[in-house]
Structure 1
Amino acid sequence: MAVDTTSTFIPDIAEIVEEAYERAGLELRSGYDMRTARRSLNFLLLEWQNKGLNLWTVEEASSADADAPAPINLEKGKATYNIADDTIGLLDVIIRTNWGNATTQNDFLMSRISEPTYATIPNKLNQGQPLQYYFNRKQIQAYNSATPTTQYSTITVWPVPDQDSKYRIYYWRVARIPSIGNTASNTTAVPDRFLPAMVAGLAYQIATKRPEAAQRIPMLKQQYDEIFREAAEEDRVKTSARFVPGVSYYS
């Protein structure tokens, strides 16, 4: 008997929605059923961003947005810069000096400080090579006009750069999970190891919307929590850990 050795099972959005409805004891019948399921999927992905670090969303920031380019070229005397769109959080931030020069280029890890710590720095205009940064996470997209506007998250460095064209910031970020589109035949931007959790979570969300599935809600919630926990525990960096004392200061 032949054995299938391929690993090609990647369900599209329609299949994910259909499976979720079946688990909720329901049938996917109308266009509205698909529409409300897509909306629930998008809320589910937003929820996942609050559950912890999802490794597939970690990336080195790269942006051609003129208002929030990445990497960031620092300017003399300028302390605050916009962070790339759809950034949920920052993991590592480095400052590179003399970039592009194979002989003199150097990377230095910057220290993250809180708003109260930044507020207590006596001289915020002191210039030099930036050593620390304060991340102000406030990205909001406003759609109250014909043209959407974005209020970017920002990074404020200290000391303030003392030269132009010498310092460049590179950063690794947690990016927002892409939304579910309107095409049912598309697949999601979620790795296959999290698809069982997506189906379980959607089944639970659908059941909360339909009175006839109310008796299944406790079971579906328990299944969703267990499956997501298993996926989240597996989705981790499998490297050795080394602990060193952290020493930071400012003058």
Structure 2
Amino acid sequence: MIRHLLEGRENWTRLRGQDIGLLLTGIVAQAMEGRTEFIHHAAPLANYLSESFATETGLFCDSATGYLRRFATFTTQVYLAIACYSYGEYAGDLEMIHLGNACALRLIELQGPQGEWPWLFDAERGEVIDFYEVRSAHQYGMAPALLEFAERHNVDGASEALIRGFIWNFGENQLRRSMLIPSLQMSYGAQTRQSDMRGRIWRLGGAHLGRKARLTSPAKLTIRKECRSHELGWILWSFGERRDLPQITHNLFFSSALR
């Protein structure tokens, strides 16, 4: 399956940004472990990423073609930026490092006042379309995974943004609720609107009209009580070997949970 995807380059236009990001990151990760069977695809894939997904704003598009390509999620930004950093470090490609830095910097600039990582962006304008839903895994796992690369490459504000985003999970958020449940070894999935009848069309229409995204009133928010299987893996990947952020790793929230 992977070989078919990589060798059928005429079909790459059908892949979304997240697909491209995961493929390139995976190829590099395998090569670093001595498995180089796919490494000859890395440079063409990085080239395609740069030419078809990057924008002047620093944010990445969701797909290579189509009008809606400009509307991309936070997840798309993370997967593509990590791919840029991974390949850039492996191949010594400074242009790819620059793309990762530009994305990280723009995301930091768009972070919410309490550390919220927005859900949906207009990549071509470099703006937030909608903050919701604000997902816990983005706050404690995906953003830190990206920002660890950004820290390594001296992106301004990366460490501060990482900490601010993580602390959101401790209750420094609009609902003043902890999103972590130590007794169950789980986390709540997200903070979202109680009822959103506007849907995607309204959001995209607002982007077309240049309407600015805003945080809604806490009274209109609710907690999504789910915990997907992959989410807690993100926190392990992002923090399993870190000892330099005691305000997170040694926070009273964690130490009290172990008593």
What TM-score does the superposition give when structure 1 sets the normalisation length?
A: 0.21
User: Which structure dedicates a bigger proportion of its chain to helix?
Assistant: 2
Larger radius of gyration: 1
